[in-house]
Structure 1
Amino acid sequence: MELKINQVIDSRYKIISKEGKGATSLVYKVLDLTNNAFKALKILTTAKNVDVAFKKEAGILSSLNFEHYVTPIDDFGIFTFENENYPYMVLEFYPNKTIQNIASTNTYLLFSNNELEYYFKRILLGLKGIHDNQVTKMIHKDLKPQNILLDAKWDPFIADFGISQVLQTEKNTLIEASGTPKYMAPELFLENNYDKNINQPYYIDIYAIGVMLYAYSTGMIPFENFDVIDYPEQTHKKEIATRDLNLWMDLVKPSVYNPEINRALENVILRAMAKDYHKRYQTLNELMDDFDQIDNNNFKPFEDYNTRPKNIEKPLVTYVSKFNRFLKIFNWKWLVMMILILLVIVFGFALVINLV
């Protein structure tokens, strides 16, 4: 769907410009005609015809108010576009866009220690507010640079908390393979490899924090070459084609890409990104305590970051595993023979032409 500039939504919000597009939403800068204030209108494009459930969850989210979180929702509702009903939320407009825009679209800048501390201490405070809130009792599930907005003073604020929960209200599930693949914890790609008995699996958000710290301290994102394919015959309709990399490929230490990285910070990243969530930070307080001490080199090195979870199932069939299987079963002798036959045919044909 695509809204037109100057189009008015619900007789109140005039479309000024398109600000962003994600897998589940569109974001527009709008003018609130009731008070002439600029705001951000987020349309949930994958939640067609949601009504009662959306309004209930959005009502709860609009009442929240804690530090470094994009809150409260100023307004929410449902509007009709081409005979489909789409829910929307109206939020404060953040003029400096997202932390992703500090760098170019496809690469990341190296942050200094001061910059890392400035941004991530505030991000962690916002995430702590989400984790500690007794009303929601939820995790974010989709932390990434594109969801860290910057206000006029360049202070970071977490956005999109609750969006995935709103979209999944009727499913009544806390965890499933949802989110942005490159920031998703390995266990989310495996059906039976996380603890379903834990009501607040904070370690999922902690992994995403680790990936962001990795990105902004090295300029690289680990396991970035993801692709999404559908498996209609399986429970999870979305599986990650190169999920093998996330779970089976060893994590490269940040110091390989940035030899100047603070070693205490590297230690925090490695523990936050441990492949086995049991070895990861279990609460944000644990991570924050270590992050506050990154200028102190008196720490115990964390070495278990590449230890795989116990009893993990056989990897799902992906493009990577299919190609590896092809290499194993392909008979190279047949390929050589076919090439030789082709060469004989080509040269024979050329010879006949020359004789004629």
Structure 2
Amino acid sequence: MVTGRPPPRGATTEQGLSPKTLGPLDRVYQEIAILKKLDHQNIVHLVEVLDDPDEDNLHMAFELMPKGPVMEVPSDTPFTEEQARFYFRDVILGIEYLHYQKIIHRDIKPSNLLLGDDGHVKIADFGVSNQFEGSDALLSSSAGTPAFMAPEMMMDHEQSFTGKALDVWAMGVTLYCFVYGTCPFVDEYIIGLHNKIRNRPVEFPIMPKVCDKLKDLIVRMLDKNPDTRITIPEIKEHSWVTKDGTDLLPLEEEHCTVVEVTEEEVQNSIRLIPSLSAVIVVKSMLRKKSFSNPFECLNRRAERSMSAPGGLLA
């Protein structure tokens, strides 16, 4: 995954100040250090963040999740309620853990929920996440995937909105996708999509049939008023999630511990590499136990394909 690169530590600004003295810059490095230390069964582990000085991006390397996303949307084969409940409970715990660490994900959707070898879901992609102080984030900028954005982000006039409620809304859209295979609000044009998200009530298809308790949860998560929208603690206790109280989720203190980072970990949060292509070459050589240039093979193959009859179209 690639994200924008902040100025390197030790560089000076136009005013001659080191980024070390600038709060926002230090926060970038601290946030990365925290992301690398997140440790939860429902969060994809961030292995390393690489900075190639020849590029204007950071490269974020996550643990390999070969089974891929839990669902592709749209889908003609949505989950049964039992399947949806199983995966959604994982999402609840993952989001509760992130909020406990004072992190708003901001882009919850099925394609960012990856299946682990144990069959459970892990939350991935922290490219637009925000760290906050206090009890909740106060945000003013839009980020994420349009079909999963909350209505308060689409106001005609500029205003701030709370972060936790954004994640809950996206979780509601995701749960709807789980059982219906499509988003609750769809439009070919972005303006039309925003209008539907802001003004249209949630509509449920006749098929597949889902129970009223599940519909109730979805409606409460897709409450257009963030102040009355259901919260994570309330979702955890909802009758559909807990099977009428017979299958409770663990308490927050049972699966959440505060992540703390040292100054050394903050300083080393980003690994500087001479060239990302050089790293790829070396790793390829070690894997193949050969010190030949792997790119030469590719070049020869390309030359052969171009020189062969019909290998190149005019």
Distance 1:160 1:175, change over 3 A: farther
Whether 1:76 aligns to 2:49 is yes
1:158 aligns with 2:117: no
Structure-1-length-normalised TM-score = 0.56
Shift of 1:251: 2.1
**What CA distance in whole angstroms lies between the structure 2 residues aligned with 1:156 and 1:148?**
6
Give the number of the structure whose residues are more often strand, by fraction: 1
Encode CA deviations 1:77-121: one digit per residue, 9 max, x unaligned: 2114xx5321011111001011124xxx63252211220121111
Q: Is the 8 A contact 2:172 2:218 kept in 1?
A: yes
State the 1:241 CA deviation.
Answer: 5.4
- Report Cα offsets for 1:266-315 as digits up to 9, x if no partner: 1000110011222211x201011115556449xxxxxxxxxxxxxxxxxx
Note closer, same or farther for the CA distance 1:114–1:57 as it changes in structure 2 (3 Å cut): same
Matched with 1:115 is 83
Task: Pick the aligned partner of 2:95 from 103, 120, 127.
Answer: 127
- 1:224-253 residue CA offsets vs partner (Å, 9 max, x unmatched): 22545xxxxxxxxxxx5531111122321x
Report if the CA contact (8 A) 1:74-1:92 is conserved: yes
Which of the residues 180, 197, 205 maps onto 1:218? 180
**Equivalence for 1:190:** 155
Contact 1:79 1:86 in 2 (8 A): yes
Q: Secondary structure at the match of 2:104?
A: coil
Instruction: Give how far 1:222 is off.
Output: 1.6
Q: Distance in 2 between matches of 1:166 and 1:270?
A: 26
**Does the Cα contact within 8 Å between 1:108 and 1:215 map onto a contact in 2?**
no
Supply the distance in 1 between the matched residues of 2:85 and 2:43 (Cα, whole angstroms): 17
Which residue number corresponds to residue 18 of structure 1? none
Which residue of the other structure, out of 183, 195, 198, is the alignment partner of 1:244? 195
Query: Structure 1: 5+ residue runs without aligned partners?
Result: 1-41, 229-239, 298-356
Q: Which amino acid aligns with 2:152?
A: E
Higher Rg of the two aligned structures:
1
Give the distance between the partners of 2:208 and 2:47, measured in 1 at CA: 45
| Cα distance in 2, alignment partners of residues 206 and 165 from structure 1 | 14
In the TM superposition, 1:169-208 aligns within 5 A as 174-190=139-155, 196=161, 198=162, 201-208=163-170
Written as runs of structure 1 = structure 2, the 5 A alignment for 1:37-76 is 42-44=1-3, 47-48=4-5, 50-52=7-9, 53=25, 54-71=28-45, 73-76=46-49
Q: Is the 8 A contact 2:103 2:131 kept in 1?
A: no
Partner AA of 1:285 in structure 2 = P
Equivalent in the alignment of 1:92: 63
Shift of residue 216, structure 1, vs aligned partner: 1.6
| SS of residue paired to 2:141 | coil
Cα distance in 1 for partners of 2:208, 2:74 equals: 22
Q: Is the counterpart of residue 286 in structure 1 residue 234 in structure 2?
A: yes
- AA matched with 2:199: W
